[in-house]
Amino acid sequence: MSVEQQLITAADWDAFVGANVHAHVLQQWAWGELKAAYGWKVERLFVRDDRGQILALAQVLFRTLPLHLGTMAYLAMGPLVVDPYPEKVQPRDYALAVLWERIRQSGLNHRAAFLKWEPGIFTNGLSQEAVIETLIHGKFQYLGLRQSPQTVQPPRTVMIDISSDEDTILARMNQGTRRKIRQSLKNGITYREGTKADVNIFTGMMNTTGERNDFGVHEPAYYQKAFDLFVPQGDAALILAEHEGDPLAGIMVFAKGKTAWYLYGASSNIKRNLMGAYGVQWAAIQWAKAKGCTEYDMWGIPDEDETILEAQFESRSDGLWGVYGFKRGWGGEVVRSLGAWDKVYNPVIYAAYQLALRARG
């Protein structure tokens, strides 16, 4: 089995990611390029067999810690292993073990105090311990993973099954959401895929949304970079809702493999009664279906059990509570990933990092 860092193209990397049953936008080549433009360093690690076929890969990001006390290594929604695993090569477990060793070595080379790993695999009712044991095949105890309360990506989301026809998808929604979608389609609103020149319209609405709902947004150049990296390749779309020349709402939706992700959404303060935010979300779901996706990830709700979510969503608007009321109506399933797991390389710096987190609340 070959582990040398042979050259790999973006096309080969993304072809492997896209063909994987766990394909994820955060493992795409372009995602690494996006984060590299905003303070992260990127390492793309992979294992090949003797014929040069990629067996496993992982895109690892590195971010400098405060006071320059080394870095944090971050692995999201990976590693990915070829499926089905080819016959007549080393066992799957061995390929993963080799890749994990490469991840460890890369961390040391970048002076990482720890690795934060977010596998992004939904537990589907199993205990996290059971799933993590299954994920690592019970043979990587030496990894020394510990569960972490500090996550980078929201661990809980609403996942919509879009494998059925549109009437069936609509029928699963609650009555209020379905009514607002239909209303948005009768109000003379136009829905279209935006061009590069339209990103400024979207970022303007993002700033409005952030101010209205009191949450932070990226600078305009970030969304422009995301558009340039993903949209021309067909892996994302900027979808806009407009009425008589007025922008009402917009979504940047991403797709890879069987899944689409609603990562960025915005709306203006005008003509909100026309329900453009509902119509543009429906247009994004239709775009995802046309791409061949079978599930649509609403990306981020409060990390609470569904009973608590349902009991409190009408009385809370802090954090992700403000969007749960919107996302709950689309007929999806509330699911939770495995959250975050840390592998400590430097216990002293990691302890200081934990103290800093507690001090910040």
Phi, then psi, of 101 in degrees rounded to 5 = -65, -40
pLDDT in tens, 146-183: 888 899 999 999 999 999 999 999 999 999 999 999 99
For position 56, what pLDDT does the model report? 93
pLDDT at 91: 75
- For residue 323, give the 3-state DSSP assignment: helix
Q: Is residue 330 domain-shared with residue 207, that is, in the same domain? A: yes
83 or 261: which leads in pLDDT: 261
Do 162 and 144 have their domain in common? no
Lowest-confidence region among 11-20, 108-117, 123-132, 233-242 = 123-132
- Residues 195 and 308 reside in one and the same domain: yes
Same domain, 96 and 171: no
| Residue 145 pLDDT | 83
CA 73 to each of CA 63, 96, 110, 359: distance values in angstroms, whole numbers, following the listed order? 7, 18, 8, 22
Share above pLDDT 90 across residues of the chain, in percent, rounded to a whole number: 73
- By CB neighbour count within 10 A (0-12 exposed, 13-18 middle, 19+ buried), where does 134 fall? exposed
- Beta carbons within 10 angstroms of residue 150's beta carbon: 11
Percent of the chain exceeding pLDDT 70 equals 92
**Mean predicted lDDT score pLDDT of the chain:** 91
Rg (CA), the chain: 21
pLDDT by residue (tens digit) across 199-229? 999 999 999 998 887 778 999 999 999 999 9
Residue numbers of the domain that contains 137: 10-153+338-360
Residue 271 lies in a domain: yes
- pLDDT tens per residue across span 265-298: 999 999 999 999 999 999 999 999 999 999 999 9
Q: What local confidence, expressed as pLDDT, does residue 138 receive? A: 45
Whether 2 is covered by a domain: the verdict is no
**Shared-domain flag, residues 107 and 241:** no
Are 110 and 71 in contact by the 8 Å Cβ rule? The answer is yes
Question: 300-313: per-residue pLDDT in tens?
Answer: 999 999 999 999 99
My answer on whether 247 and 112 are in the same domain is no
Same domain, 116 and 169: no
The CA-CA-CA angle for residues 82, 83, 89, to 5°, reads: 65
User: Which pair of tokens denotes residue 184?
Assistant: 């948005």
What pLDDT, on a 0 to 100 scale, did the predictor assign at position 132?
60
Question: For the domain that residue 171 is a member of, what is the CATH number?
Answer: 3.40.630.30
| Pair (256, 284) in one structural domain | yes
Q: Both 135 and 184 in a single domain?
A: no
d(CA 239, CA 333): 24
CB of 132 within 8 A of CB of 341?
yes
pLDDT in tens, 345-360: 999 999 998 888 888 7
Instruction: Please report, to the nearest 10 degrees, the dihedral formed by the alpha carbons of residues 64, 65, 66, 67 taken in order.
Output: -80
- How much is the pLDDT for 3? 45
Q: How many domains does the chain have?
A: 2
| 1 in any annotated domain | no
The reply to whether 227 and 260 lie within a common domain is yes
Decide if pLDDT at 101 tops 80.
yes
